[in-house]
Amino acid sequence: MTLPLIHWHFITISGHIDLVVFMTSMWKLLMMLGLPLIFFTYLSASILGSETIDGQILLEILRVSSRKQLIQAKFITMILLVTAVFMLNMGFSCLFYFTLMIPSGNAAMVSRFSLQLLLISFSDLIFLILMIAIAFFFAIDKNSFQATLFTLGVYIFLMFLAKIDGLNVWMPGYFSLTNSPQFSVPWFIYHLGLNIFFILFFFNYTTRKFIKKQF
Give the pLDDT mean for 167-185. Answer: 86
- pLDDT given at position 125: 94
Q: Over 50: is that where the pLDDT of 61 sits? A: no
DSSP letter, residue 7 = -
Give the pLDDT mean for 60-79. Answer: 75
Domain coordinates in residue numbering, the chain: 19-209
Q: Over 70: is that where the pLDDT of 54 sits? A: no
Q: Over 90: is that where the pLDDT of 31 sits? A: no
- pLDDT given at position 106: 56
Give the pLDDT mean for 143-165. Answer: 90
Q: Over 90: is that where the pLDDT of 167 sits? A: no
Which amino acid is residue 142, in one-letter code?
Answer: K
Length reported for the chain:
215
CB environment 146-180: b (16+ within 10 A), e (fewer) = ebbebbbebbeebeebbeeeeebbebbbbbbbbee
| 100 touches 50 (CB < 8 A) | no
Q: Over 50: is that where the pLDDT of 135 sits? A: yes
What is the rounded distance in angstroms from the CA atom of residue 167 to the CA atom of residue 183? Answer: 15
Q: Over 80: is that where the pLDDT of 65 sits? A: no
**Least confidently predicted of 107-116, 159-168, 194-203, 206-215:** 107-116
- pLDDT given at position 112: 67
Whole-number percent of the chain with pLDDT over 90: 33
What is the rounded distance in angstroms from the CA atom of residue 9 to the CA atom of residue 12? Answer: 7
- pLDDT given at position 143: 83
DSSP string, 85-138: HHHHHHHHHHHHIIIIIHHHT-B----TTHHHHHHHHHHHHHHHHHHHHHHHHH
Number of H helices, E strands in the chain: 9, 0
Crossing angle for the helix pair 35-53 and 114-139, to the nearest 10 degrees: 30
Q: Chain-wide mean pLDDT for the chain?
A: 80
> Is 57 or 192 the better-scoring residue by pLDDT?
192
> Is 14 or 43 the better-scoring residue by pLDDT?
43
- pLDDT given at position 21: 80
